[in-house]
Amino acid sequence: MSSLQQLSNTLKRLASAEHYLFTPADLHGALPQHSKAALQVVLGRAVKAKVLERVCQGLYLYPDAYISDGLLLYRAAARLRASDFNYLSLESVLSDAGVISQIPLAWITLMSSGRNRLVDCGRFGRIEFIHTQRTAAALVEQLSWDTQAQVWRASVPLALRDMQHTKRSLELIDREVLSEFV
């Protein structure tokens, strides 16, 4: 059996509608005999054969298990920064609450204990991580768990403070709607 077939068979057995994103480290388990370089070659072949789709650097989608639900960017963000403290904030939260008039399409913004980074996820959109030194313990009262997106979500007042702290534009904020939250 070829390495590509072995990878494909493993993904058919393990992937599900909730678990369709994989890192190279995840996929190495399907091909433990391969070095990192050899695994990269197999992953390249898997992308060409449409067994996998590259979402961004270090993250692959298994299309046979993926059901488009609009949550891929959120789940990708969680996978990319699994070892960091992250929470949805800034324009994403304010737009969802109707506080800013424009809805950022295919772009999510998160505060992260990791470094600043804009991740291009191709046809899926972009993920923007903005560094924060705040801890989960310091923000616990202002965060809630978003069960659908599977990420922490800032309250509207916290998202506004994050906007001010990071010196992002406040021009699109509807002060009348904001007054309902603050």
Task: Sheet containing 21-22: give its strands across.
Answer: 21-22, 59-61, 53-56
**Per-block average pLDDT, block size 10, for the chain (182 residues)?**
90 92 92 92 96 96 91 94 95 90 85 96 96 94 94 96 91 74 68
Domain boundaries, the chain: 3-61, 72-178
**Third-level CATH fold of 3-61:** Arc Repressor Mutant, subunit A (1.10.10)
Cα–Cα distance measured from residue 95 to residue 58, given in angstroms and rounded to the nearest whole number: 29
pLDDT in tens, 80-127: 999 999 999 999 999 998 888 777 789 999 999 999 999 999 999 999
Report pLDDT for 172. 79
The answer to whether residues 131 and 145 touch, using CB atoms and an 8 Å cutoff, is no
Cα–Cα distance measured from residue 123 to residue 68, given in angstroms and rounded to the nearest whole number: 13
- pTM here is 0.89
